[in-house]
Amino acid sequence: MRSRFTVIESEFSLVQLVESLLFVAGEPLTLPDLARALEVPAEAVEQALQELATHLQTRGIRLQRHGDGLQLVTAPEATPAIARLLGLQASGRLSNAALEVLAIIAYRQPLTRAQVDAIRGVDSSGTLRALLARDLISEAGRLETVGRPILYATTPAFLQQFGLLSLADLPPLDLPQVEAAQ
């Protein structure tokens, strides 16, 4: 018994089909979404995604992974030209406080405002609102504790803004080693 993909495969490769689905999707797709649409095993789709990502490294678009979501995005190097074409003005630089909060969330996500405040030692509510407004972070659920505080995580826009394809592309943290008390 042949799947639909077998018939289509003679005309189009799985990599091309995956690229087409990601191109037309209005939002990030998951690996199961793609496997279901193509009627092939998830392992085959993952292999096609890896091949597509490699192929796109030299192109004007990239394959971006954020959590379980996959989508095609423009290459960060194209940002100035795209902004000129669309008549977009630079949205301004992020303040040091915003960069600090964004880094904390990026490396430790998801976490609450109180957890961010504890790390920074100051109130971060205004900075969090600014990052939410710029779509660099979003609400990622609620912590299962008293008061059910909001958990924050980075967004795909964060990855695109900083030219990252996934959170795994964040540079490693060089934290000093803390010696144990004797």
Q: Would 109 be classed as within a structural domain?
A: yes
Domain of 101 in residue numbering reads as 96-169
Q: pLDDT band at 153, cuts 50/70/90?
A: very high
Domain CATH for 117? 1.10.10.10
**pLDDT of the residue at 1:** 46
95-123: per-residue pLDDT in tens?
A: 899 999 999 999 999 999 999 999 999 99
Helices (H), the chain: 4-9, 14-24, 31-38, 42-56, 79-86, 96-108, 113-120, 125-133, 156-161
Boundary-marking domain end, from 78, 108, 133: 78
Range with lowest mean pLDDT among 140-144, 147-151, 167-171, 178-182:
178-182
**pLDDT of the residue at 177:** 66
Boundary-marking domain end, from 34, 50, 78: 78
**pLDDT of the residue at 142:** 93
